[in-house]
Chain A
Amino acid sequence: MAQTQLNVALYCHSRTAPRVPNSVQLIAENLIIERGGRIIVNGVTFTANAGEVVLLTGANGAGKTTLLRALAGFLPIIAGAIRVLPESGDTPRAEHIHAIGHANAVKAHLTVRENVAFWADFLGPADGSEARTDQALAAFALRDLEEFPASYLSAGQRRRVGLARLLAAPRPIWLLDEPTVSLDAASTAQLADAIDAHTKAGGLAIAATHLPLGLQNTRELRLERKGGTA
C-alpha cells in the first residue's frame, strides 16, 4: 500500500513517458510462475537485448501466455527476477511495455480512430498524440476505416486496431501474444514491418507465435510443457 500511495503522490512528476532508450534490455532470471497451484513456467532464464526479436515457441499449454503476462507484470512470480535495463528510477516496469494479449482492447462503440487516439492519449505523452495516432493508423492500413465504428469491423481488422496501439505510444518493449491471429498475409507483413522498424530503432520484442514472421535478428526461446527452456 505504501508503494501505491507513493505512485499516486509521484504521479504529477512522473508524467514524462518513457522514451525508447538506446540499450534497453529485458532480463528474466530463473522465473517460476504458477497458475491454479500448478507450476507452469519453471526456471526460465533469458536476456532480450535491444534490436532483437525473441520468438517464444512451444506447444499449447507450454506457458507462453503465462510467461508474457508475468513479464508484463499482470501475474506474480513465485521466484526469480524480471528486470528492465537501464534502471530508470521511479518508472514502473509496466510503463516500458506494450502488452498485446488475446483480447484487442477495442471498444465496439468507438470509431477506429477514437480507439487508437484514446490509447495514444492514455499510454503516451500528451503532446503529439494526434500525429502518433495518424502514424499508427497508416502503418496498419486503417486510414480508410478510421471513421467506422469498430463494431462493423471484421476480426482481422479489429486485431489491426488493437495492434495499432503499439505505434500510438512509444514503448521500448513489445510483448506480443499470438499477434497474427486472424490477420491475413498483407496485415501480417505490416506487423512484421512494424516490429522490424521498432527493433531497428532500438526496441525489443518478445512474440509468442506459431507463424514465421520473416524477421531478421530473431532468436527462438522454446518452452517445454514441463516448464524450463530446452
Chain B
Amino acid sequence: MLKFVLKGILRDRSRSLLPIIVVSLIVALVIFNRGFLVGSMNGMFMDTAVISSGHVKVMTHAYQKESQLMPNDLALMDVDELMIDLGLKYPDFFWSPKISFAGLLDLPDEHGETKSQGPVMAYGVDFLSPNSRQFELWELDKRIVSGHMIQKPNDALVGHKLADKLGLSLGDHVTYIGTTMNNAFTTFNFTVVGTFNLGMGPLDKQMMLVDIEGARHALDMNNAASEILGFTHDLYYNDDVSIEIRNQFNSLHSDTTDIFRSSMIALRDANQMGTMIDLVDWSVFIILGIFLSIAMIVLWNMGIMSGLRRYGEIGVRLAMGETKGQVYRSLILESVIIGTIGTIIGTLIGLPLTYYVQEVGIDYSAAFENLNSSSLIMSTVFYTQVTPDLYYIGFIPGVLATVFGTMLAGRAIYKREMAQLFKELEA
C-alpha cells in the first residue's frame, strides 16, 4: 500500500504539492513564532539576570533582606572558596561574583579641583578572569560605543549618557566617592577607557562598569562580593531547574540562624520577576496555543477539502472493489507522508531562520526611543531562541492536524452507499 500511496503522491502533484507547501510554511511559522516568543522573553529575563539577579544568585541572608540598600557591610566573604564549592555542587551553572555599589563620580580639573560631579551606580564584575563569560553576557562587543574593553582593575566603562553629562573623555581619571564595606568614606580613582550604551534607558544615565578587583580595592572588599551570580551554560533560563537548586541550596544552609549564612534566590525571586515569569509562561502558552489552533484548523480544513475533492476517485476505488477500510487507511497514510514531508521541510526552513535571528536580532530601538526617558529597563533588540522543542514542535500542526483533518474528511467514505455508487458515478 505504501508503494501505491507514494506513487500517487509523486504522480499527482495537485494532490501533494500544495499541501506540502502549506504544511511547510505553517510549520516554519510555528517554529519561528515559538523561537521568537521564547527568545524575546528570555532576552527580557537575561537583561535582568545579567544586571541584577543571575539565573540564580547567592548572597548572605542579611544582604538579601536589605538588598535594595546595597549593604556591602553584609557582603559574602571568602568568595573564592565559595565559588569552588558552588562549581563542584552545581556543575550545570557557571558562577561569577559581583559587587553593586553607588556613590558620586567626580571629574577633577587640572588643579585637582572638582570640575563636574554626578551620582553613579556601579557594578564590579569579574571581567578579567581567564574563563570569565561576563564580556559575552554583557554583550559589550555590541554595546561599547567608544574606547575599548576593561583591561586593568582600575579601568572603567561609563554609560555614554553619564559620560556626556559629566563631560568625560577617554583616558580621564575620575574619582569615585562613596563608602567602603565598613561604611567608611572612601575615594578611589578609575580611568575611563570606554563608554557603552546598554539601550536600557535610565541605566545608561548613571551606570559605570568596573572589574571586580577594582571595586574590591575601592571598597576595601578583599575576597568579598555582594553576590555570586549563577548562569546556565547555554544561558537559557530554566525556571524549574533554578527553583530546584535554590531549594536544595537553602535547605543545606537552613540549620543556622547566622545572619551571614549563604542564601540562594532564583531569578523568579527577584523583584516581581516571579509574576512576570508566570505571566510570560502563560502568554507564550496562550499565544502559541492560539497560533497552533489556527494552523491546525487550516490544515484540517485542507484535509477536508482534499477529501471532498477526491470524492469521485474514492467512489471509483470503492466501485473497483477496495474496501472502505482500505481506502480510509490509504488516505491517512497519504496524509501522514505529506504531513511528515511538509514538517521536515518546514523545520528545515524555520530552524535556520530562528537561529539567524538568534544571532543577529531584530532592532526595535527606533520604536522604543521614546521609552528611553522612562524608568523601563529593557533591551531594544529582540532575539529568538533555538530551544530543543523546536526540533519536534512542528510535528503537532504538520502531521497531527493534517492527519486529523483527513480522518474527519474520510468519515464520508463510510457514509457512501454502495447501491448509490454507480448512480453517483454516472452523474
Q: Does B bind A?
A: no
CB within 8 Å of A: which residues of B? none
